[in-house]
Chain A
Amino acid sequence: DAGVTQSPTHLIKTRGQQVTLRCSPKSGHDTVSWYQQALGQGPQFIFQYYEEEERQRGNFPDRFSGHQFPNYSSELNVNALLLGDSALYLCASSLMEGAGARPDTQYFGPGTRLTVL
C-alpha cells in the first residue's frame, strides 16, 4: 500500500518564476492538505482540499493556489516566487470521517524541497 508521494523531490527556481508541486494521497484517502516548512520551524498550514474544492486556508497570499483532481491527487502552485518561499513543502492526506469529533489522522509525504535563488 503506497503512502503519500510527492514530486519532484527537489526543485530550484529563480525569483519571479512559477512552480507546480504534485501530491498523490495514500490509497483510500480523499483529503489533501499542504504545508510549508521553513528551515528550523514547524510546518505551516497552507490549505486543504476535499471533493476538489479548497475547504480551509491558512495565512498565505493568493500567489499560493491549488487544485485537487477527481482521483484525489493534488497540485500546489506558487506564482511570482520570492526568496522567502524557499522551504520544504509537505503534502498530507487523510480520510474525511465526517460526523466524528476526532481530528482525522494526517499522513505526510516526504516533501518537496524548493530553493528560490
Chain B
Amino acid sequence: LAKTTQPISMDSYEGQEVNITCSHNNIATNDYITWYQQFPSQGPRFIIQGYKTKVTNEVASLFIPADRKSSTLSLPRVSLSDTAVYYCLVGGLSGGYNKLIFGAGTRLAVHP
C-alpha cells in the first residue's frame, strides 16, 4: 500500500477554511484516497473518499490533481468541534479485501 506523508499538526481559527495536503508519490492505479477523522478516545470516522478530480460531500471536499501524487482535504468554515486528528489513507482492494493502513495523521487544532 502507498505510503502517505501529511503535516504532523495544523492550527486554525473558527470560521476559516482548512486545507490539509497529503503526499502519496507511489500511489497505484487501483488505489483510492480516503480520509478519516478521529476525536480523542473515539474510533476514526469516515469523511470522504475519491479517485481523481474533486469530490464533495456535506462535510468536506477532496481535491486530487491529475497525477494523483497528492490530495487535499478541504474543511470549509471550521468550528471548535473540528479539532481532531485527520488521517489520509491510500489503498484499494487486495484480493477482494481491504485493510486500512493509517499513518500518524494531522492534528488539527481550531482556536476561538
Contacts and interface: CB of A to CB of B under 8 A. Distances in A.
Interface of A: 4, 31, 33, 35, 41-45, 48, 50, 55-56, 58, 88, 90-92, 94, 96, 98, 100-111, 113
Q: Which 9 A-B pairs rank lowest in CB-CB distance, beginning with the nearest?
A: A108-B43, A42-B102, A103-B98, A45-B99, A43-B102, A55-B97, A90-B43, A105-B46, A108-B44
Given A4-B43, A88-B41, A103-B49, A58 B93 contact: no
B34 to A, nearest CB: 7
A43 B93 contact: no
Interface of B: 30, 32, 34, 41-46, 49, 51, 85, 87, 91-105
B-side interface mostly: loop
A33 B100 contact: yes
B107 to A, nearest CB: 10
